[in-house]
């Protein structure tokens, strides 16, 4: 399925520093393992019990969990280490109070990792959508192609463009078969 995603240009602008540069709390410019860490628009930036940051990787070829292989473990470790240190130094939240996860399906197709306070962890960590960082790393260590091969079940919200795209194709297929 291919259709435009409005966040893709926004993500590129954040990575290039032409958008939201004042919101970036950490910037690693390395093209292989680098990333940008910024507060999510879901967080007011004040109450650390509601902390929500997103790390967006610099690699353009990584769109979602499906693209991750064992060769990306150094990048994932770099993002984890530098983000958790930055979060503790800046906001006083230690790693053992963080929930770190990926979404599948993601909101936008450029690999990013969510960092939330455990008290805020219910926002976006539902079964069928969130994949914990530690599980992703373990799976890639066990099998480099784990996410390329795995059947991944996921839920979609009623207003999700992917759901509408899937339903539209399903209706077209049904209509053609009925003719």
Q: Which of 112, 114, 117, 164 is catalytic?
A: 112
Q: Whole-angstrom Cα distance, residue 36 to residue 72?
A: 16
Q: Is 82 helix (H, G, I), strand (E, B) or coil?
A: helix
Q: Around 167, how many Cα atoms within 13 Å sit in the side-chain half-sphere?
A: 9
* Sheet of 112-117, strand order: 26-28, 35-39, 52-57, 112-117, 98-103, 130-132
Question: Which residues is 175 bridged to in the sheet?
Answer: none
Which tokens hold the place of 146? 């784990």
Is 112 one of the catalytic residues? yes
Angstrom distances, CA of residue 96 to CA of 8, 24, 110, 116, 119: 32, 23, 27, 11, 12
DSSP letter, residue 37: E
Q: Whole-angstrom Cα distance, residue 106 to residue 7?
A: 11
Which residues are known catalytic residues? Answer: 112
């Amino acid at each position: 399925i291919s259709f435009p995603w409005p966040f893709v240009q926004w993500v590129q602008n954040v990575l290039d520093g032409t958008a939201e540069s004042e919101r970036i709390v950490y910037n690693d410019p390395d093209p292989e393992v680098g990333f940008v860490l910024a507060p999510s628009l879901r967080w007011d930036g004040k109450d650390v019990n509601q902390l929500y940051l997103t790390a967006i990787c610099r690699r353009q070829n990584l769109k979602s969990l499906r693209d991750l292989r064992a060769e990306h473990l150094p990048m994932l470790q770099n993002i984890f280490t530098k983000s958790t240190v930055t979060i503790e130094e800046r906001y006083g939240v230690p790693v053992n109070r963080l929930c770190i996860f990926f979404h599948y399906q993601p909101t936008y197709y450029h690999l990013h990792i969510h960092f939330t306070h455990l008290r805020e962890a219910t926002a976006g960590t539902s079964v069928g959508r969130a994949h914990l960082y530690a599980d992703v790393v373990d799976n890639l260590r066990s099998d480099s192609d784990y996410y390329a091969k795995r059947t991944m079940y996921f839920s979609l919200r009623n207003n999700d463009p992917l759901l509408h795209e899937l339903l539209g194709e399903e209706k077209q297929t049904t209509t053609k078969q009925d003719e």
